[in-house]
Amino acid sequence: MSRHVLALSGGVGGAKLAAGLAAVLSPDDLTLVVNTGDDFEHLGLTICPDIDSVTYALAGLNDTVRGWGVKDETWQAMAMLRALGEADWFNLGDRDMGMHIARSWRLRAGDTLSQVTARLTGELGIAHAIVPMSDAPVRTQIGTAQGWLDFQRYFVAEQCRPVATGVRFEGASDAVPSPAFAAALAREDLGAIVVCPSNPYLSVDPILSLDGVRSALAGRRVPVVAVSPLVGGASLKGPLGKLLGELGRPVSNASIADHYGDLLDHLIIDEADAADVGGLRDRGLSVTVCPTVMCHAGDRERLARVALIAAGIETG
Amino acid sequence: MSRHVLALSGGVGGAKLAAGLAAVLSPDDLTLVVNTGDDFEHLGLTICPDIDSVTYALAGLNDTVRGWGVKDETWQAMAMLRALGEADWFNLGDRDMGMHIARSWRLRAGDTLSQVTARLTGELGIAHAIVPMSDAPVRTQIGTAQGWLDFQRYFVAEQCRPVATGVRFEGASDAVPSPAFAAALAREDLGAIVVCPSNPYLSVDPILSLDGVRSALAGRRVPVVAVSPLVGGASLKGPLGKLLGELGRPVSNASIADHYGDLLDHLIIDEADAADVGGLRDRGLSVTVCPTVMCHAGDRERLARVALIAAGIETG
C-alpha cells in the first residue's frame, strides 16, 4: 500500500504542520525533510534554525508564546557573550545553545548533519525521521542593493528591511539530497508529498533546488499537496508578503500556485481566502478551503488530516 | 625602581590572591601568569578553568558561595545537553558557557590564547594583565592504577578518588612561555615573584615545567615569595593533602618548602601552622605567619600586602 508521506518543511509554520503529521502518522509512514538553507555558522556554532524548529515542535519543547525557540528559555550565555564584546545580533537562548553545542561538536568530530540530527532527535524521544534536506551546505542569500546578503543577516540583523531583488541558494546545484531524503524519494510505497505552509521562496525552494530533486518529485506520480502559507491575502509570519511584492508578484495564492507550477496537484488555502478558489481551479489545481491557522495541537492535527485526505492517504 | 610583580597562579585559591594583588598594584606593576595545565577540550569548547577563575575573581563575577564559577549562574544549556545524551560529568553554567564559546571561536579563528585572554578580560573591564602561562597546549595528567588520567577526568569525573602515583605535564618541555610571561621574566624593573596559594604539584609545577622557566626564575635575583596553600596542616580545598600523602610526603609546609627548594626565598604560612616556623627557618627560608584564609575582599588585599612586604615591594 502506498502510504508513505514525504513532507517538505521550513521553520515555524512548517514545523507546526510537521508536528501535526507526526501526531497522525506512524514513524514508518512519514519522512520530514527540512530546509537547511537558513543554516549558518555563528560564534563557532552550526545553527540550523529550521531543523531545530521542527525538532522542538515534535518534542513539545517549542515556545508557543514567543513563537520560536525553546520554552522556559533563559538568555544568560548571550548576556555573557555581550559582556565579552561578541556579536549579539542573533539571540541564542541557553537551552537552544545546548542544542547548537551538541550539534557543532559532533559535526566537527566527523558525523554528517543527517547522523547528528538522527541522534539528537532520537535522544529527545522523537520517533519520526527529521531529515536535513542535504548533508552538504546550502546557503540561502537575498539579493539587495547592498549585494547578496546571507539569509540570517537579511532576516535577523536587517529584519528583512532591504528590498529583495532576488533569492539564490549557494551550493544547491552541487548538493545532493541527504540519504534519507533520497531514500524517501525512491520508496516504492511513497504515497504523497506534502509541502508544509512555509515560505515557497525562502524555505521550500532550497529543497527543490537540490541536485535532482525537482525531477525526482515530478517523476513520482503521487499527489503533491501544499498548504498555503498565506492567510487573508497576507503572510501570517515572516517576510513572504513583502518579498512577493518586491519580486513583482501579487500577494495571493495565485502566486503560490504559479511558483510551484506543474509540481503541485492540490493547494489547501485558508477560509479567509475562499475567494481565490475559482482562479486556482482555473489553473487546473484542486483546492481545499479550511482553517489553516494552527494555534493548538488540535489545529495542527486537523490540518494534517485535511492534507492527508487531499493526498488520498488514510489515517487511523 | 624594581617594582614589577610577576605572580604565578592556579585556580580558586590562587585567584583570590591574584585579585588581592590587582587591588593593591597598578596594572603596570603586575603580571598574573596563570596555569593552563588544567585546560581541556570538551563538547568542542576550549575550557581554561584557572584563567576563568582568575578572570571572574578580578571582574567581581566569581561565585563566592559555591566557591567556583560565575555568580548568579544557571544551568539550562547543560540540562539540554544532558537531554541530548551528551556528557554531563563536567558541569558548565550558562554564563560560563558564554565565556567558553567566545574563547573557542576566537581560538579557532586563529588567535592565540594570549590574544583571546587579553581581549576577553579587557572587555570585562579588567585592566591588569591576565596571561596564560603558554600559548602551546600543556596538559596535566595524573598517574593512577588505571594509567595516566587527564586532569579533569581525575579531578571532576573521578573526584580525585584514584590513588596518584605521579604527575606529568604533557607538552610542557616543548612549550615556551607566552609572550607576556616571557616579557615579564625579562623586565628590567622586575621586583618580585609571588607564588599564589595554589597546589604546587598541580597548579604551579606546570608553569615551572615550561621550557626555560625554572632557569629564568632562578637567574633573576629577585625575591620569590610563596603563600602556602595549607591551613592547619591540611589543604583548604582540593586534593593537595591526599596527593601529598599518596606521593609519600607529609602534609605540611615542610613539603611545600622542599618542593619549591632553592627557588623560594620566603614562605607565608597560616597562623594555624605557626609551629612549622622553626623547621622552615632551619631550611634557610624566611617565614611570615599570618591569617591566609581569604573570605572577603579585605582578606585578599591584606594577604597581598603581606606578600608584597615580604618581597620588599612598596604599595600605596
The H or E element spanning position A13 is: helix A12-24
- What count of CB pairs under 8 Å joins A to B? 112
pLDDT digits (tens, 9 = 90+) for A82-92: 999 999 999 99
* Chain B residues with beta carbon closer than 8 angstroms to that of A124: 83-84
Selecting from B70, B78, B102 the residue whose C-beta is nearest the C-beta of A86 gives B102
Q: Mark yes or no for CB contact A119/B85 under 8 Å.
A: yes
Tell me the CA distances in angstroms from A124 to B102, B151, B310, one per residue in order.
27, 31, 59
Q: Mark yes or no for CB contact A83/B108 under 8 Å.
A: no
Q: Residue B64: its pLDDT value, please? A: 87
Q: What residue ranges define each of the domains in chain B, with the CATH number in brackets?
A: 4-56+129-310 (3.40.50.10680)
Within 10 angstroms of residue B29's Cβ, the number of other Cβ atoms is 18
- Please, which pLDDT band fits residue B193 given cuts at 50, 70 and 90? very high
Q: Which residues of chain A have pLDDT under 70?
A: 316
Q: Residue A235: its pLDDT value, please? A: 86
Q: Residue B315: its pLDDT value, please? A: 81
Tell me the CA distances in angstroms from A84 to A67, A157, A299, B127, one per residue in order.
28, 19, 43, 14
pLDDT (mean) for B81-105: 97
Residues of chain A whose beta carbon is less than 8 angstroms from a beta carbon of chain B are 43-45, 70, 72-74, 76-81, 83-86, 93-99, 101-102, 104-105, 108, 119-120, 123-124
- The answer on pLDDT for B237 being more than 90 is no
- Separation of alpha carbons A104 and A41, rounded Å: 9
Report the gap between the CA of A90 and the closest CA in chain B (Å): 14
- Separation of alpha carbons B7 and A187, rounded Å: 67
Within 10 angstroms of residue B148's Cβ, the number of other Cβ atoms is 16
E strand residue ranges, B48-201: 129-132, 139-144, 147-150, 166-170, 190-195
* Position B248, amino acid: G
- What is the Cα gyration radius of chain A? 19
Q: Residue B316: its pLDDT value, please? A: 67
* Chain B residues with beta carbon closer than 8 angstroms to that of A45: 101, 105
Strand order, beta sheet including A166-170: A147-150, A139-144, A166-170
Tell me the CA distances in angstroms from A139 to A112, A148, A167, B199, B200, one per residue in order.
17, 11, 10, 50, 51
B76 near A74, Cβ under 8 Å?
yes
A150 near A162, Cβ under 8 Å?
no
Selecting from B77, B85, B96 the residue whose C-beta is nearest the C-beta of A95 gives B77
Report the gap between the CA of A97 and the closest CA in chain B (Å): 6
Q: Residue B303: its pLDDT value, please? A: 98
Q: What is the ipTM of this complex?
A: 0.94
Tell me the CA distances in angstroms from B67 to A194, B11, B71, B121, B273, one per residue in order.
55, 11, 9, 20, 23
Q: Residue B235: its pLDDT value, please? A: 86
What 8-state DSSP symbol labels residue B175?
A: P
* Position B288, amino acid: T
Report the gap between the CA of B56 and the closest CA in chain A (Å): 12
Q: Residue A295: its pLDDT value, please? A: 92
pLDDT (mean) for B124-148: 97
- Separation of alpha carbons B68 and B238, rounded Å: 12
Of B65, B134, B103, nearest in space to A43 by CA: B103
- Separation of alpha carbons A270 and A253, rounded Å: 10
B21 near B5, Cβ under 8 Å?
yes
Q: Angle at which helices B76-83 and A94-108 pack, to 10 degrees? A: 50
- The answer on pLDDT for B92 being more than 80 is yes
Q: Residue A145: its pLDDT value, please? A: 94
Q: Residue A12: its pLDDT value, please? A: 84
A311 near A5, Cβ under 8 Å?
yes
pLDDT (mean) for B285-303: 96
Report the gap between the CA of A109 and the closest CA in chain B (Å): 9
Report the gap between the CA of A136 and the closest CA in chain B (Å): 21
**Whole-number average pLDDT of chain A:** 95
pLDDT (mean) for B210-233: 95
pLDDT (mean) for B104-111: 98
B128 near B27, Cβ under 8 Å?
yes
Q: Residue A316: its pLDDT value, please? A: 67
Phi and psi angles of residue A235, each rounded to the nearest 5 degrees, phi first: -80, 135
Q: Mark yes or no for CB contact A99/B105 under 8 Å.
A: no
Residues of chain B whose beta carbon is less than 8 angstroms from a beta carbon of chain A are 43-45, 70, 73-74, 76-81, 83-86, 93-99, 101-102, 104-105, 108, 119-120, 123-124
* Chain B residues with beta carbon closer than 8 angstroms to that of A100: none
For residues A231-266, b (16+ Cβ closer than 10 Å) or e, as one string? beeebbebbbebbbebbeeebbbebbbebbeeebbb
Q: Mark yes or no for CB contact B101/A45 under 8 Å.
A: yes
For residues B87-98, b (16+ Cβ closer than 10 Å) or e, as one string? eeebebbbbbbb
pLDDT (mean) for B233-253: 90
Q: Which of A41, A51, A80 to probe by mutation at the B interface, max B CB count within 10 Å?
A: A80
